Amino acid sequence: MAVKKVAVTLPEELYELVERARKIERRTRSELIQEALRTHFDEPVYTPTEAERPMLDEALHDLRRNPGSGLPWGVVRREVRPQS
């Protein structure tokens, strides 16, 4: 997938919301802003099912116990959403 870099100016309060969310969710600014844009344009955004939630909770618990055990987001994304 080709990518383009853009610079975005945000009001301080919106920037602080992004920073708080990315720290809590352990995501990059780019990931958060991409998700916000996808939501705005009605693109599909992953929402875990009730069956997936316990697995995700367990994975997060494991990651908190051993921070180096996780996979990079790019690897996970390719596994979940392979390119056609």
Confidence of residue 7 (pLDDT cuts 50, 70, 90): very high
| Exposure on the CB side of residue 53, measured as CA atoms within 13 A | 4
At residue 80, does pLDDT exceed 70? no
**56: nearest Cα among 29, 37, 83, 80:** 80
The per-residue pLDDT for range 10-56, each reduced to its tens digit, is 999 999 999 998 888 888 999 999 989 988 888 776 777 888 888 88
User: pTM for the complete prediction?
Assistant: 0.51
Return the pLDDT at 48. 77
